[in-house]
């Protein structure tokens, strides 16, 4: 393309900046302290929230694909989630360039605001089956967000749908698992593990379910790496101080590292 073919008159046409709403997006980094590194802090968290929005979009699509037995689209959507997770983990590496001395200069400006309050992160956890009753209270002041979270809290998660697929394929899954209270955290079950074990022992016969299981393991593996990098970045910057939102900080982040979304898929690896 020659320079003469490049469009330069946008009086009546949408521009790149218009399409991406860049005026609003780039005006959203409002430092409260004026400290140089507060810009880094804001941008990293905003970028992470954008990635989380895409994670939620893809997980919801994958759930819909699985419910309609469209496995191949679901696999692509879950694979994309894993790639997004890889990117979001790298964001912690950038934030870790900030030292404790730099962060302390503007930390008080945050007040009680904390990443612990990220409602998108809660939506991701709920979709993966990690549900804690008291966590919803944080969002009661915003009824629009609360209703979205409450709906996700009551619904089947991704793993519940995967277990349904095991049952539909003829594996014995107890009715109390298929019809459980989905607002409660999932507890591992011997029959579910036995079903997944059979899938792995005869992957050629159960190739679709085998692929689904591995996509779930990929997703959880990356999520645990995300959690770990989060924990180590926080420890590096604030040590064992409490979080600005009142959480136990590093101690809380360490405690969730031993939490599994898809426990049977990890347990069976020891027994195969």
Q: Within a domain: residue 223?
A: yes
Does residue 248 register a pLDDT over 80?
no
**CATH code at position 220:** 1.20.58.480
Place of tokens 């029959």: 191
Known binder of ligand: residue 230? yes
227 known ligand binder: no
Domain assignment of residue 132, yes or no = yes
* Structural domain contains residue 10: no
* 80 within domain boundaries: yes
Phi and psi (nearest 5°) for 172?
-80, 115
pLDDT grade, residue 9 (50/70/90)?
confident
Residue with tokens 């107890």: 174
Percent of the residues in the chain that have a pLDDT greater than 90, as a whole number: 83
Residue 28 lies in a domain: no
Task: Confirm whether 23 is domain-assigned.
Answer: no
Q: Is 244 annotated as a binding residue?
A: yes
Number of domains observed in the structure of the chain: 1
pLDDT tens sequence across 18-35: 999 999 999 999 999 989
Q: What is the spatial distance between Cα 38 and Cα 18, in angstroms, rounded to a whole number?
A: 27
Note the pLDDT tens digit of each residue in 62-107.
999 999 999 999 999 999 999 999 999 999 999 999 999 999 999 9
Domain that holds residue 222: 34-271
Does the annotation flag 44 for ligand binding?
Answer: yes
**Residue range 150-206, pLDDT digits in tens:** 999 999 999 999 999 999 999 999 999 999 999 998 999 999 999 999 999 999 999
43 is in an annotated binding site: yes
In the predicted model, is pLDDT for residue 2 greater than 80?
Answer: no
């Amino acid at each position: 393309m020659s320079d003469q073919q490049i469009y330069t008159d946008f009086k009546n046409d949408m521009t790149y900046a218009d399409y991406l709403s860049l005026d609003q997006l780039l005006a959203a980094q409002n430092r409260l302290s004026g400290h140089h590194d507060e810009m880094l802090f804001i941008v990293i968290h905003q970028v992470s929230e954008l990635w989380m929005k895409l994670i939620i979009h893809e997980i919801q699509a994958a759930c819909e694909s699985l419910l309609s037995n469209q496995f191949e689209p679901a696999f692509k959507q879950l694979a994309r989630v894993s790639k997004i997770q890889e990117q979001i983990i790298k964001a912690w590496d950038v934030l870790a360039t900030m030292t404790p001395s730099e962060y302390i200069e503007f930390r008080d400006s945050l007040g009680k605001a904390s990443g612990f309050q990220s409602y998108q992160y809660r939506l991701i956890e709920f979709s993966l089956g990690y549900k804690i009753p008291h966590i919803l209270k944080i969002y009661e002041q915003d009824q629009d967000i609360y209703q979205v979270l409450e709906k996700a809290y009551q619904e089947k998660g991704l793993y519940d749908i995967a277990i349904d697929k095991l049952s539909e394929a003829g594996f014995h899954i107890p009715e109390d698992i298929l019809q459980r209270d989905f607002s409660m955290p999932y507890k591992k079950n011997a029959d579910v593990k036995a079903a997944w074990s059979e899938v792995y022992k005869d992957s050629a016969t159960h190739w679709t379910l085998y692929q689904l299981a591995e996509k779930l393991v990929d997703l959880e593996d990356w999520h645990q790496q995300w959690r770990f990098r989060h924990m180590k970045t926080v420890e590096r910057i604030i040590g064992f101080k409490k979080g600005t939102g009142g959480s136990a900080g590093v101690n809380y982040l360490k405690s969730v590292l031993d939490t599994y979304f898809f426990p049977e898929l990890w347990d069976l690896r020891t027994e195969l």
